[in-house]
């Protein structure tokens, strides 16, 4: 049998799992759909327009920057689509379209591609773009911009124009005119496009956990710790629930903080990272001058990820005893 | 797990980190081992084991019979090579073997008679020393894949604290079913081998460890054991979960005994000796007949093989002849693997001889073996979750590309056993095993300086 030079030779293993990067990103997109549907109900068709503009700008920015840098095309992995959706979800529905495009360019070109593309960015691209937009266009990204439009005849509590997080404080508790917990849960309230419906976001989160795309550690520890701190701070279950359901906590804990590239790989590291996110979120919300702290807390913890990973390296097989002995020797 | 109820079968004492679920594809588990007729020729490399190579003791033109020594050396860490067919030596010289290296080899043209050498007689064993000498003379190496000379493994000192023998019949590699068949087709050889080794070397605990997807292997072994008066409960069966890489030595020892072999140490350092079920079964036969290691069983399977089989073949038979015996290729082969799909070696040519430690030949057509394009690491952590040694393969990869000797060492690259769990799990299709080997090469190069 003459088969010379016809057989493929490669390193083992010769079988691979069915999972692919594209498949994972597709799962994230599916998980983000309920929140997208909710956003159209709450903010009208303009929400869809912003999502579409954001996604198209992100994909185009990725395509052009890869081309300019003469690198392999990566738009097929769908990560730019995920960034586009997340960026849109973090913007108010009233934002001018050109600002969405600007945000997309910041996210993809500056934060992602300039650091080497997928897997190399050290902070979450969508979040940093949001922060750049907040800093650059404060009027467009704050209180008055978050109005919810009533498209289905529902009672939408966005009329005051303030985000729900501006209507609660440590001194006064939940203020008059604040949306009810039920509104916060369903999402019929003011806020960024994708953050309003806790219900839709939770559905997406459960999907991601069932599909094993994300580990439940980060969302559970993040949301749980915020709940605990708020319960202690306010001494009131309603205020605690208001803090958990309102603002960007759900979208942050489920979709932004769990970004693979900018969160720790190890389970122990994930716990520390989520605790840090929760702590900073609470400090900003309770004592800061900003009503909302999720974006900043995640960005700060993103930067600490390499250090957290160094502290939480798993104990290599067969060295458990050695480690124990060292500890005991140190204790003596 | 429907098999949990088998009475008298132990469960693993602990579950280790990591591991993956690979499709078992044990298509040949019902195929009893059949004997392949004598091939036209065999090529017997002088190095089929870890240790010193042998020197040929025959010359071109010599007539040889099965079991006759054709290569040996004085080195302790080595095993002799025997003629595996009767016939005439037609060549002595270097040949290319499966891993691409050139090795001295003896080629024997078969006369088709398969005559046994007259020198073959059961070894006389009075002491442990006699036993170890007999094991060396048998040419036995670890038949599970490692190829480490068995007499070296068994030559532990009496005061070294070695008290446990584990027979590895986990067979966690997909497709391969010969260990499973050995437990069923040659169950008495397995058990008598276990008994003899236990008696001679004085093991306190003996375990036969099998994955839970082979329930008929348990029942068969228990039936044979129950029929035998000598059987006592010092030899226990352990049912392991079918999870890859359950049969990896360190993972197996941890599951069965709860002990962890530290990096760079041997199983005997934690009081354990592990032997493959084929090896122990061979010893069971050898001690009765004296016939050295001249043939072995292997699984031939895969989407490109016309008639998948479990076969017993003379060592040194060309892989091409083995495939021919199994009906040849039914589709154009894209990849031919010596060993299992997780740890086996992709062959560059099928005209290479079968070695002592080769437990399978698998051939796949292009449309049935997944090729994942290599993409950038997205730091999803699946490799870290999968690693049974609790390493961080993605970090080791980074260190390896940077040629960072200390970094590779600190990350534990040398502890990697190349089981392939990380590369299997990687959604970005990164060839992580290749990168682990690169990291080891970086360390070796760095420490050579």
- Candidates A264, A260, A279; CA nearest to A83 is A260
- Residue A269: beta bridge partners? none
How far is B322 from B315, CA to CA, in rounded Å?
11
In terms of domains, do B21 and B165 share one? yes
- Is ipTM strictly over 0.85? yes
Per DSSP, helices labelled H in B128-231 are 128-137, 150-154, 178-185, 187-201, 215-227
In terms of domains, do B268 and B402 share one? no
Q: What pLDDT is attached to residue B160?
A: 85
Mean pLDDT over each residue of chain A, to the nearest integer:
88
Q: Is residue B230 part of a domain?
A: yes
Domain that holds residue B213: 2-31+122-289
Reduce the DSSP state of residue A1 to 3 states and report it: coil
Structure tokens at B28: 């040949």
Counting the structural domains of chain B, the total is 2
Q: What pLDDT is attached to residue A255?
A: 97
How far is B316 from B305, CA to CA, in rounded Å?
20
A-B CB pairs within 8 A amount to 167
CA of A40 to nearest chain B CA: how many angstroms apart? 31
Tens digits of residue pLDDT in B404-440: 999 999 999 999 999 999 999 999 999 999 999 999 9
In terms of domains, do B129 and B261 share one? yes
In DSSP notation, B234-280 reads: TEEEEEE-S-BTTTSHHHHHHHHH---PPTT--GGGGTEEEEEHHHH
In terms of domains, do B17 and B132 share one? yes
Domain end residue (candidates: B246, B272, B289): B289
Q: Identify the residue whose tokens are 């023998």.
A: B165
Q: What pLDDT is attached to residue A158?
A: 42
**Residues 44-73, chain B, touching A (beta carbon < 8 A):** none
How far is B184 from A20, CA to CA, in rounded Å?
39
Q: Is residue B194 part of a domain?
A: yes
For residue B21, give the chain A residue with the closest CA: A17
Residues of A in contact with B415 (CB under 8 A): 316-318
Nearest to A12 among B328, B345, B425 (CB): B345
Domain end residue (candidates: B224, B259, B289): B289
Instruction: Say yes or no to pLDDT of B75 above 50.
Output: yes
Q: Identify the residue whose tokens are 């209180």.
A: A143
Buried b (16+ CB within 10 A) or exposed e, B376-390: bbbbbbbbbbbbbbb
Q: Is residue B436 part of a domain?
A: yes
Q: What pLDDT is attached to residue B318?
A: 95
Instruction: Say yes or no to pLDDT of A125 above 50.
Output: yes
Please tell me which of A95-104, A169-178, A180-189 the model is most confident about, judged by mean pLDDT: A95-104
- The gap from C-alpha B85 to its chain's centroid, in whole angstroms, comes to 23
Q: What pLDDT is attached to residue A260?
A: 96
Q: Identify the residue whose tokens are 């609470």.
A: A282
Buried b (16+ CB within 10 A) or exposed e, B162-187: bebbbbbbbbbbbbbbbbbbbbbbbb
Tens digits of residue pLDDT in B8-24: 788 888 888 888 999 99
Residues of B in contact with A317 (CB under 8 A): 16-17, 250, 254, 260, 263, 388-391, 415
A8 close to B (CB below 8 A) = yes
CB contact at 8 A, B168 and B144: yes
Query: Alpha-carbon dihedral of residues B120, B125, B128, B131, nearest 10 degrees?
Result: 10
For residue B351, give the chain A residue with the closest CA: A1
Q: What pLDDT is attached to residue B224?
A: 85
Confidence of residue A140 (pLDDT cuts 50, 70, 90): low
Confidence of residue B173 (pLDDT cuts 50, 70, 90): very high
CATH of the domain at B148: 3.40.50.11540
Q: Is residue B63 part of a domain?
A: no
CATH numbers and ranges of domains, chain A: 21-311 (1.10.3430)
Angle formed at CA B189 by CA B184 and CA B191, multiple of 5 degrees: 85
Buried b (16+ CB within 10 A) or exposed e, B276-305: bbbbbbbbbbbbeebbbbbbbbbbbbbbbb
Please indicate whether, in this complex, the C-beta atoms of B16 and A317 are within 8 angstroms of each other: yes
- Residue B244: beta bridge partners? B20
**Residues 18-47, chain B, touching A (beta carbon < 8 A):** 20, 22-23
Please indicate whether, in this complex, the C-beta atoms of B250 and A15 are within 8 angstroms of each other: no
Secondary element (H or E) of residue A82: helix A79-89
CA of A199 to nearest chain B CA: how many angstroms apart? 26
Please indicate whether, in this complex, the C-beta atoms of B433 and A11 are within 8 angstroms of each other: yes
Secondary element (H or E) of residue B398: helix B393-401
Instruction: Say yes or no to pLDDT of A157 above 80.
Output: no
In terms of domains, do B412 and B281 share one? no
Please indicate whether, in this complex, the C-beta atoms of A24 and B380 are within 8 angstroms of each other: yes
Please indicate whether, in this complex, the C-beta atoms of A316 and B390 are within 8 angstroms of each other: yes
In terms of domains, do B163 and B277 share one? yes
Residues of B in contact with A18 (CB under 8 A): 370
pLDDT, mean of residues A172-187: 84
Q: Is residue B300 part of a domain?
A: no
In terms of domains, do B165 and B24 share one? yes
Tens digits of residue pLDDT in A233-267: 999 999 999 999 988 999 999 999 999 999 999 99
Instruction: Say yes or no to pLDDT of B370 above 80.
Output: no
In terms of domains, do B144 and B285 share one? yes
Residues of A in contact with B388 (CB under 8 A): 317
- Candidates B134, B215, B233; CA nearest to B169 is B215
Please indicate whether, in this complex, the C-beta atoms of B376 and A14 are within 8 angstroms of each other: no
Q: Is residue B327 part of a domain?
A: no
* Residue B426 neighbours by CB distance under 10 Å: 27
Residues of B in contact with A23 (CB under 8 A): 427
Q: What pLDDT is attached to residue B185?
A: 92
What is the pairing mode between strands B55-56 and B63-64?
unpaired
How far is A160 from A274, CA to CA, in rounded Å?
32
pTM: predicted TM-score of the whole model, two decimal places: 0.91
* Residue B27 neighbours by CB distance under 10 Å: 15
In terms of domains, do B272 and B414 share one? no
The conformation of residue A153, written as its DSSP 8-state character, comes to S
In terms of domains, do B133 and B276 share one? yes
Helix, strand, coil abundance in chain A, percent, nearest 5: 65, 0, 35
In terms of domains, do B257 and B143 share one? yes
Domain end residue (candidates: B257, B289, B321): B289
For residue B383, give the chain A residue with the closest CA: A265
- The gap from C-alpha A104 to its chain's centroid, in whole angstroms, comes to 15
Q: Is residue B210 part of a domain?
A: yes
Q: Is residue B67 part of a domain?
A: no
In terms of domains, do B150 and B273 share one? yes
Nearest to B341 among A15, A79, A261 (CB): A15
């Amino acid at each position: 049998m003459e088969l010379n030079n016809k057989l493929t030779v490669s390193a083992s293993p010769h079988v691979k799992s069915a999972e692919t990067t594209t498949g994972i990103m597709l799962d994230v997109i599916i998980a983000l759909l309920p929140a997208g549907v909710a956003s159209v109900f709450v903010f009208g068709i303009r929400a869809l327009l912003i999502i579409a503009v954001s996604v198209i700008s992100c994909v185009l920015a990725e395509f052009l920057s890869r081309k300019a840098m003469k690198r392999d095309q990566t738009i097929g992995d769908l990560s730019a689509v995920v960034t586009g959706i997340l960026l849109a979800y973090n913007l108010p529905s009233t934002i001018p379209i050109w600002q969405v495009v600007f945000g997309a360019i910041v996210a993809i070109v500056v934060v992602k591609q300039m650091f080497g593309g997928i897997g190399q960015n050290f902070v979450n691209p969508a979040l940093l773009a949001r922060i750049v937009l907040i800093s650059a266009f404060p009027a467009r990204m704050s209180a008055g911009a978050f109005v919810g439009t009533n498209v289905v005849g529902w009672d939408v509590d966005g009329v005051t124009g303030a985000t729900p997080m501006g209507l609660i404080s440590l001194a006064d508790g939940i203020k008059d005119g604040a949306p009810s917990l039920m509104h916060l849960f369903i999402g019929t309230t003011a806020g960024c496009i994708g953050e309003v419906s806790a219900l839709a976001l939770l559905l997406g989160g459960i999907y991601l956990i069932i599909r094993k795309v994300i580990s439940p550690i980060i969302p559970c520890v993040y949301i749980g710790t915020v709940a605990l701190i708020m319960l202690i701070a306010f001494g009131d279950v309603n205020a605690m629930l208001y803090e958990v359901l309102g603002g960007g906590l759900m979208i942050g804990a489920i979709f932004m903080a769990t970004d693979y590239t900018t969160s720790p790989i190890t389970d122990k590291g994930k716990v520390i990272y989520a605790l840090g996110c929760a702590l900073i979120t609470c400090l900003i919300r309770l004592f800061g001058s900003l009503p909302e702290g999720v974006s900043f807390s995640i960005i700060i913890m993103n930067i600490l990820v390499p250090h957290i990973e160094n502290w939480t390296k798993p104990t290599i097989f067969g060295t458990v005893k050695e480690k124990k002995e060292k500890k005991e020797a140190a204790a003596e | 797990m429907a098999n949990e109820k088998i009475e008298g079968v132990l469960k693993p004492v602990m579950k280790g980190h990591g591991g993956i679920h690979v499709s078992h594809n044990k298509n040949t588990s019902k195929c009893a081992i059949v004997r392949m007729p004598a091939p036209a020729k065999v090529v017997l490399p002088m190095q089929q084991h870890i240790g010193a190579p042998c020197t040929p003791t025959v010359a071109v033109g010599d007539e040889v019979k099965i079991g006759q020594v054709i290569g040996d050396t004085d080195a302790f860490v080595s095993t002799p090579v025997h003629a595996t067919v009767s016939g005439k030596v037609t060549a002595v010289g270097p040949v290319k073997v499966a891993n691409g290296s050139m090795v001295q080899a003896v080629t024997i043209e078969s006369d088709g008679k398969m005559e046994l050498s007259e020198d073959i007689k059961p070894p006389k064993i009075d002491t442990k020393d006699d036993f170890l000498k007999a094991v060396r003379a048998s040419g036995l190496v670890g038949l599970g894949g490692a190829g480490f000379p068995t007499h070296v493994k068994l030559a532990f000192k009496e005061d070294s604290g070695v008290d446990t023998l584990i027979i590895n019949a986990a067979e966690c590699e997909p497709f391969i079913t010969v260990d499973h068949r050995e437990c069923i087709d040659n169950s008495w050889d397995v058990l008598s081998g276990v008994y003899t080794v236990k008696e001679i070397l004085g093991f306190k605990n003996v375990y036969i460890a099998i994955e839970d997807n082979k329930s008929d292997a348990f029942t068969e072994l228990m039936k044979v054991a129950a029929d035998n008066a000598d059987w006592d409960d010092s030899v226990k069966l352990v049912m392991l979960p079918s999870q890859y890489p359950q049969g990896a030595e360190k993972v197996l020892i941890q599951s069965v005994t709860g002990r962890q072999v530290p990096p760079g140490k041997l199983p005997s350092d934690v009081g354990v000796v592990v032997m493959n079920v084929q090896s122990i079964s061979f010893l069971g036969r050898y001690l009765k007949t004296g016939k050295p290691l001249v043939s072995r069983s292997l699984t031939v399977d895969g989407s490109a093989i016309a008639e998948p089989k479990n076969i017993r073949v003379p060592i040194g038979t060309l892989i091409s002849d083995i495939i021919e015996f199994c009906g040849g290729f039914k589709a154009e082969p894209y990849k031919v693997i010596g060993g299992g799909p997780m740890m086996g070696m992709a062959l560059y040519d099928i005209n290479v001889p079968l070695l002592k430690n080769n437990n399978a030949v698998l051939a796949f057509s292009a449309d049935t073996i997944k090729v994942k394009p290599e993409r950038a690491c997205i730091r999803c952590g699946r490799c870290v979750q999968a690693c049974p040694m609790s390493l961080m393969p993605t970090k080791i990869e980074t260190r390896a590309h940077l040629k960072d000797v200390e970094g590779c060492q600190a990350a534990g690259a040398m502890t990697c056993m190349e089981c392939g769990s990380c590369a299997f799990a990687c959604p970005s299709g990164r060839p992580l095993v290749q990168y682990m080997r690169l990291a080891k090469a970086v360390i070796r190069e760095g420490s050579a300086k």
